[in-house]
Amino acid sequence: MVKQGAKFVVLAGAAALAAVSAAAAGTHHGTAKLTLAKAQADVAAARKPMTTFTGPKTSPGPVPSGKSVVSIYSVPAPLPQRSAAGVVDAAKHLGWSGKVVFGNGNPPGWLAAINTAVTGGASAVVMSAGVPALIAPGIAKAKAAGAPFVDIFNGVPKPPPGLVAQIGPPEFTEGYRLAEWIVVNTNGKGAQILAYNSPQFSDLQVALRGFEQGIKDAGPSYKIVNVTQSPATDIGTSAGAQRMAALFEKYTEAKYIFCLSESWAGTFSRAVQQSGRKDITGLGTDGDFFLPAIRKGAKFVEIGPDTNEYGWFAVDAILRAMNHKPAVKYNVPFRLMDSTNARSTSGPAIANSYDYRSAWLKLWGKK
């Protein structure tokens, strides 16, 4: 996933798609499955600090010495950069060498970075915010060289051969929690809602499905009145802000927009300014840079994990692969941040409230 302020190259094979008007969740009928009380309880729990280690219970086996990891980030943006740095942080705590490499913002650049890593003798490779199908040749090359390959974000049901782990949060649940936030914010009285979908990022598509399910479960008084495809080129650009502002001006009764990810927060802010729609709230997954704006009054809600810890999950997966241990399913924690708790932390990003580094090192026998 990608963030504000970077210039992005649209992924190979993805075309900019026209807005599609759809009453995605506006045609359901019957009694609400999602009650106000349940939404309140779930949102309250999601707002709480992340205080407990959620890593595996079983050791990945002994830590070999003298290994090296190349950590590639796909685009120049806070989320993949923080994730990539987390990989090297974990590696260095094990006494390994680690290097962060920029993938030049496009699939050919990603493959070139992987090729350089493998031919340079990297013991393992991690890609942050790449697309598995587009880097399959690089994954195969790493496998042939005996280098475990881990992908962070953009998980897919059928990953390419050689991908030993896909690290990511429960995107469906995160999307559902954001729908519940709207139910709480409206006191169960209903709302009209706009939503974005991604033509490129599989994890954001899953988050949208969770959001749509939550709105559907909330009952017929909640309606998604428009779903628009938003390519990566909408992020941080004038054209992206203009497209969103046009939606705000057209759907004047809509008070909320699910804009996929915090990546679109800057676009959202500009659209609010251009349209004068200060009554609309944006919601998205992830949280790497926008908390200062929320503290200053920006009407935005975000939900996600501590991106730095992603790298530690990835290194655990590498250790298990090196020791021929079975892969494990990772439970990546997340937190919902809004105006009620944004001041409970001081940094720009969602962060753990416990020493996750010590917890991982203890698991790995490196106290």
Confidence of residue 233 (pLDDT cuts 50, 70, 90): confident
Average pLDDT on 192-209 reads: 94
Quick: pLDDT tens for 304-356. Answer: 999 999 999 999 999 999 999 999 999 999 999 999 999 999 999 999 999 99
- What tokens were used for 334? 């997340």
Average pLDDT on 114-132 reads: 97
Say if residues 90 and 60 touch (Cβ distance below 8 Å).
no
Say what the pLDDT of residue 30 is.
54
Confidence of residue 218 (pLDDT cuts 50, 70, 90): very high
DSSP state of 20: B
Quick: pLDDT tens for 36-67. Answer: 999 999 999 999 999 999 999 999 999 999 99
Residue 283 β-bridge partners: 258, 301
The candidate with the shortest Cα–Cα distance to 318, out of 114, 102, 90, is 90
Quick: pLDDT tens for 152-195. Answer: 998 899 999 999 999 999 999 999 999 999 999 999 999 999 99
CB-based contacts of 180: which residues, under 8 Å, 6+ apart?
34, 38, 39, 42, 43, 214, 218
- Using CA atoms, how far residue 90 sits from 98, 120, 196, 310, in Å, is 9, 21, 35, 10
Say if residues 360 and 57 touch (Cβ distance below 8 Å).
no
Residue 151 β-bridge partners: 127, 166
**Residue 53 CA to its chain's centroid (Å):** 19
Q: Show the domains of the chain with their CATH numbers.
A: 36-48+171-304 (3.40.50.2300), 68-168+306-332 (3.40.50.2300)
Q: What share of the chain in percent tops pLDDT 90?
A: 86
Say if residues 169 and 121 touch (Cβ distance below 8 Å).
no
